[in-house]
Each structure stands twice: as structure tokens, then as C-alpha cells.
A and B are shown apart, each in its own frame.
Chain A
Amino acid sequence: MMVSARRKAALRLSVFAAAALHFPSPLRAEPRASSIDPSHTSIEFFVDAIGWPRTKGSFSSFSGRIAVDLSRPDESSVVLKVAAKSVDVGSRSFDDYLCGDAFFDISRYPEISFVSNRVEKLDEHHARVSGDLTLRGVTRPFAVDVAVEGAAGGEASRLRFRATGILHRLEFGMNAGFPAISNDVDLVISTEAEGGAT
């Protein structure tokens, strides 16, 4: 049931991609999907632990596609693939430790991915994006709340998004250091995309 929804979403995305390439101005059938631009995107996480300062980290290597239509949220979608080894917490040895089998285990699970399967509009400036998150090879439903921050960089059609969500790492088998290190991981992802709302 969910699988087929996801397949459909993926299929739709590749159709957008093709459409975007071949017809710069398609027949308003589907919102235009565009690549996520790393220079305008940040993926950050925050973790609390007892006896340790709040750890802030980020990922620097990722790719994905995003299609947004504010007037028809159900036609919007996002796919994000993150290279786990690009984790950065401000020190090489700490990064290497996180890449080891206690946390990301990158030799077995090099990729973290999110594929949306539902976008709901909450109000004029907020949406909820639900989908499947795969981390350490475990796929679970995951949702983020997205604030739409309006035109970015002076271009009326470009929108800035700030997605926030709380990931429960134990659900993905990432148990190391629990309970001293919190189960909850705060995620903050910001990016830009063409609005396609007109």
C-alpha cells in the first residue's frame, strides 16, 4: 500500500524531471521538479546528552529533487539522499567516530534517504511533509513541518523552506550511548526551490 504510493511518487518525480528538461514551460499539469541546490541548502542536526554540550552537526554531501506547488500541495514532493560519511561535528576524530558502527556505520549504510509520500498544507505559510526515512538500512515513516519563508534572493518565484522534525534514533537501531545521549535528534533542513504557485 505504502510501497506503491512511494513508487508512484518516485515515478511522478522522474516524469517531472523529464518534463522539466524537455518542456521549460509544461502544461501546468504537475509542478516542476528541480534539483536541490547544495549551495542553498543546509542539513543540520542537534543532539542533547547528559554531561556533554548540545552537539550540533551537519551533512555536506547530498542530492535530491524537490517539486513544489503551493496551490496543490498534494502534487508537491521531495526526495533527499544524504551521504552519511559527510557528517561534520567540528572535529575529524569525532566525525570518524560517528561514521563507525556505533552510529552511522557508513561501511554498511552509506546513504541516508528521505522520500516524501504526502504533503499537506497547514496554513498559508506552513506545510507538513510525510514520507519514509531510511537510516542504517531501516525505513520508517517520518514527517517534518515546513515553514515557507517566501521569495528568496529577490526572485519572486523562488521560495525558501525551513523544515524541522524530531527523529527518534532508537527506531533506526542507533542505540549507542542511550540514555545518556538522547533518543531525540532535532533536524533542521533549509533549502530553496521554484515556487510554481502561479
Chain B
Amino acid sequence: MSDPSRWPRSIRLLHWLGAAAILFAFALGFAMVNLVDDPGERFELYQAHKSLGLLILALTAARLALRFARAAPKPIVTIANWRRRGAGTMHIVLYVLTIALILAGYAMVSTSTLPLPVALPFGFTAPNLFAPDEAVSERLKQAHHVLAAALALGLAGHIAAAIKHHFVDRDETLRLMKPF
């Protein structure tokens, strides 16, 4: 049924869609907080960042479900077992950090004293989950920052490893993830 020599197509597509969306969410988050001073523009970027973040949550859930449903490709024989386990652990860490980051962001805006629901496609809005609490919201903001930094670090390692496999080890790792 599936071609065990590469990642299933659905996983490949969602991996790259997710990668693009997450890297964009980083750029947006950084730019809106640190680079944009016009309040009107900043408001719109915040709204876009929040909506994008919740869409990434849905996408990540779909990816995770597919990971359980579909088989990973056969291990590449030139890669030592401990390295493969390391990569597997790293993938779990990336999933956990991504989800935790998004939930911290969602909880932060939910507890904000400024009630501003997150816009979703088709005119829906995500409700605020918790009662407003300035102090809690401030802590969650810090958590969002720390988790964003941790995920960025993890992704730097993940991307560096992909580059190393492709250009230094010259193995099939990156090609098995090729979207098309």
C-alpha cells in the first residue's frame, strides 16, 4: 500500500506545509513585537499571528494522527541506531514544544484583561478559555517566549541535522522527506 522507502505523501506534504507555517509564525511573532511600532499595523499582525498559531495547532494534530496511522520509511542502514533513536526523540520534542507553545499562546490571550477572541476561518472565533487574570497572563507570556526560544533551538538542531545528512553524510534522509 504505502511505499516504505520514503515518508507517506500526506506526511511529507504536511511536514513542509507545517514547516513553512511555523517558520512564518516565528517571523511574524518576532517582527510584530520588536519591529512594528504603528499600533494599527501591529494590531492586525497580532491578530494574524494568533489565528495562524491556532491553524498550526490543527495542522500539527493532523500530522501527529498520521504519524500514528502510517508507517515511517525503512531505516537507512548507514545511520547508527543510537542516532536514529536520537532523531526520533527530537521529533517527539519538536511536537511537544510546538503544541505547548501554541497552548501557552492561546492561554495567554485567554487570560488577558483585554477580551479579544482569536479569529478563525469562515468567520468563526476561538473563545477565551479562562477568566481574565493579568498576573497569570503575564506568566503565560513568559512561557510563550521561553517555549518559542526552545522550539527555535530545537529546530535549529533539526535543520542542521537535515543539512548534515544531505551534504556531509550524503544519505537519503532529506530525499525521503521530499514533498513531491
Interface, chain A (partner B; CB < 8 A): 51-56, 89-91, 93-94, 97, 102, 176-181
Contact = CB atoms under 8 A, between A and B. Distances in A.
B40 to A, nearest CB: 3
21 contacts: A52-B42, A53-B39, A54-B39, A56-B39, A89-B43, A90-B39, A90-B40, A91-B39, A91-B41, A91-B43, A93-B47, A102-B114, A102-B116, A176-B113, A176-B115, A177-B113, A177-B114, A178-B113, A180-B114, A180-B134, A181-B114
Nearest to A178: B113
A100 to B, nearest CB: 9
Contact of A94 (B37, B43, B113, B114): B43
A54 B42 CA distance: 11
Interface of B is mostly: helix
B83 to A, nearest CB: 42
Contact of A180 (B39, B40, B44, B113): B113
Nearest to B36: A53
B52 to A, nearest CB: 15
A53 B38 CA distance: 7
Contacts of B113: 176-180
Contacts of A55: 39
Contacts of B116: 97, 102
Interface in B5-50: 37-44, 47
A54 B37 CA distance: 9
Given A90-B39, A176-B114, A180-B134, 15 more contacts: A52-B42, A53-B37, A54-B39, A89-B40, A89-B43, A91-B40, A91-B41, A93-B43, A93-B44, A94-B39, A176-B115, A177-B113, A180-B112, A180-B113, A180-B114
Interface residues of B, number: 16
Contacts of B41: 90-91
Interface string B117-143: 000000000000000001000000100
Contacts of B43: 89, 91, 93-94, 97
Contacts of B141: 51
A181 to B, nearest CB: 7
Nearest to A47: B39
